[in-house]
């Protein structure tokens, strides 16, 4: 039950996802036929249970403009799964020119309308699930913002590449320290145990903003990562412009 309790840890970080981006066209597919109410669905062929929904608008020059209303999220891991419905607003633009295919968007997440988190035989749902996922989303958004600052300039990368790079920066105790960095010398206050891992508190203090230090040292951020790594990647890549 220690693991379940970790889901309730964390701080409510102020975070709003507002971006202007191009998403690689091969990652998303638009349903060929709109539903009776006119709603469209975009899905990722690699993760078909992650969907973006909204309504089509008038075509603009070389793209089909789409008004976004919802993001449906699902991801799983060895001991459970997470599913959520996020209310969003903004516009997507499916590019049609061959030189730079993709999706343009200017979008923000407004709220978590629905969420359930399962860990083995335990399921958090209803208001409890929504509040738990909202806290997790806020922590992940803050971590993604920090990763963006660390990178200086976001570059397109595959999920496996992102996991290795972000893992080294977020959790070097597990993934290894980034090139040019090393673990701090062991000392009375340089290590703290959280979720079974001894975290390098000097690395935390020197590298992370204050609002992320406690959740990293407690292991809460690592549980966010372990259970929803693909959500880190999803939010990070929304803000990348792919020039390929």
Region 56-62 average pLDDT: 67
Question: Is 225 domain-assigned?
Answer: yes
Q: State the total domains in the chain.
A: 1
Question: Is 242 domain-assigned?
Answer: no
Domain that holds residue 59: 2-237
In this model, does residue 133 exceed pLDDT 60?
Answer: yes
State the Cα–Cα distance between residues 12 and 65, nearest whole angstrom. 34
Question: Is 181 domain-assigned?
Answer: yes
Q: What is the pLDDT of residue 115?
A: 97
State the Cα–Cα distance between residues 174 and 20, nearest whole angstrom. 33
pTM across the whole model: 0.80
SS3 217: helix
SS3 15: coil
Q: What is the pLDDT of residue 2?
A: 34
pLDDT band at 6 (very low <50, low <70, confident <90, very high): very low
Question: Is 244 domain-assigned?
Answer: no
Per-residue pLDDT tens digits for 68-124: 899 999 999 999 999 999 998 887 777 666 555 556 666 788 999 999 999 999 999
66 has which bridge partners?
A: 56, 92
Question: Is 171 domain-assigned?
Answer: yes
In this model, does residue 211 exceed pLDDT 90?
Answer: yes
Nearest 5°: phi and psi at 119?
Answer: -130, 105
Task: Please report the DSSP string for 30-45 in residue order.
Answer: E-SS--TT--EEEEET
State the Cα–Cα distance between residues 169 and 225, nearest whole angstrom. 12
Q: Which residue has the higher pLDDT, 94 or 132?
A: 132
pLDDT band at 167 (very low <50, low <70, confident <90, very high): very high
Question: Is 145 domain-assigned?
Answer: yes
Q: What is the pLDDT of residue 128?
A: 96
Min mean pLDDT across 16-25, 135-144, 191-200 is at 16-25
């Amino acid at each position: 039950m220690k693991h379940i309790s970790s889901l309730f840890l964390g701080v409510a970080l102020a975070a709003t996802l507002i971006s202007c981006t191009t998403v690689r066209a091969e990652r998303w597919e638009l349903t060929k036929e709109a539903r009776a109410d006119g709603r469209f669905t975009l899905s990722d062929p690699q993760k078909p249970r992650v969907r973006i929904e909204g309504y089509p608008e008038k075509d603009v020059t070389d793209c089909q403009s789409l008004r976004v209303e919802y993001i449906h999220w699902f991801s799983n891991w060895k001991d459970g799964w997470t599913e959520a419905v996020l209310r969003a607003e903004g516009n997507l633009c499916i590019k049609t020119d061959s030189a730079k295919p993709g999706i343009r968007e200017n979008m923000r997440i407004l709220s978590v309308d629905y969420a359930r988190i399962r860990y083995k035989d335990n399921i958090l749902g209803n208001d409890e699930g929504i509040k738990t996922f909202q806290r997790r989303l806020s922590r992940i958004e803050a971590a993604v913002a920090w990763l963006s600052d660390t990178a200086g300039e976001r570059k397109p990368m595959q999920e496996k590449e992102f996991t290795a790079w972000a893992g080294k920066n977020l959790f070097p105790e597990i993934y290894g320290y980034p090139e040019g960095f090393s673990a701090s010398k062991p000392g009375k206050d340089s290590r703290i145990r959280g979720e079974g891992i001894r975290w390098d508190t000097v690395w935390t203090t020197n590298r992370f903003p204050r609002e992320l230090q406690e959740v990293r040292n407690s292991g809460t951020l690592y549980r966010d990562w372990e259970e929803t790594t693909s959500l880190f990647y999803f939010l990070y890549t929304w803000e990348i412009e792919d020039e390929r």
